[in-house]
Amino acid sequence: MPPALKFGLYIANSGPAATPELIRDLADEAERRGFDGVWCNEHPIPAHEPDYESPPGRPWKLVKWSYVPSYGVQTTLAYVAGRTKRVRLGCSVHPMPYYNPIMLAKSIATLDQLSDGRAILGTAVGWNRQEMEALGFHDFDTRGAYTDESIDLIKKLWTEKTPSFQGRWFSFGEVDFEPKPRQRPHPPIWIGGESKPTIRRVARYGSGWLLSHMSVDWMKEHVPLLRQRLAENGRPDDPIEIGCFYNVKMLKGGKRIDRVEDTRVSGSGTWLSGPAEAYLKDLAIYQDAGITYPILRIHAEGHDDALAQLRMFDEEVRAWL
């Protein structure tokens, strides 16, 4: 029997419903209701007219609305840390090419100290070429190598007394990097993405794997591949959380949705809608396929609608799992 699901809650730091009040109230509810963690996403400067598709065949301009406006991740999580005592604090994901990894290491270490050891580093290579270029990273094809070097660098800064580093993008002699994170040996590193290189990266660095919505058949093929890669890296028995955004819509116009509709594909802007029974059945299927950590993302029509759907899901779905 698989272990009980842990649930994260996306606290709506981006998208048309995003407001300081909604971020605050979702975080407070996550703490009060016993969710494992609160999560943001990160698209700080999307192109006004996107010229690409993600996934292929699906123009991103059709779903860009779900990322505007976008409240800054680290400031949001620091604010939430000050309001809460228990929930873990993560982002799905920090695209590593958006960052100087030294500064990202400092931000996460600081968050971990200020939150008494609740930070998670969620990162990935990123896919949004236009946004990446706007932030100063222009060699899209090297983003995987840059991410690997950056994670190696972050781990050194977090774990070594006087770290030094020699790499393709970053090189320095011995430095002082304090404070270290509160968690030992370091905060959990969760890797996002669905590609074969991502699976190798999870096996090398990860204590968690972050997915967008993937089919059950895809999960049944790729979760065993992750286990194979973990064994090849000397980690055959290491526990790995497998998380995904779990997009739900239980109300429309303030009324319960009785008919099940599943429009989910990889990415945002799609969801499973229907009554509680639909989610109980669906989550059992995904749990059996390997998901351990759904991150609830509520597609809401506003502040009160989001809180109402959260209450419904928590009391009618999560409580029965």
Predicted confidence at residue 61, as pLDDT, reads 63
Predicted confidence at residue 113, as pLDDT, reads 98
Mean pLDDT of 297-318: 97
CATH value of 8-320 in 3.20.20.30, 2.60.15.10, 3.30.565.10, 3.40.800.10? 3.20.20.30
**DSSP result, 257-307:** --S-EE---SSSS--EES-HHHHHHHHHHHHHHT--EEEEEE--SSHHHHH
Mean pLDDT of 58-75: 80
Mean pLDDT of 84-89: 98
- Whole-model pTM: value is 0.95
Higher pLDDT, 68 or 168: 168
The contacts of residue 305 (CB under 8 Å, 6+ apart) are 251, 254
Q: Looking up tokens 């929930």, which residue turns up? A: 87
Of 190, 198, 148, nearest in space to 39 by CA:
190
Mean pLDDT of 24-49: 95
Q: Where are the chain's structural domains?
A: 8-320
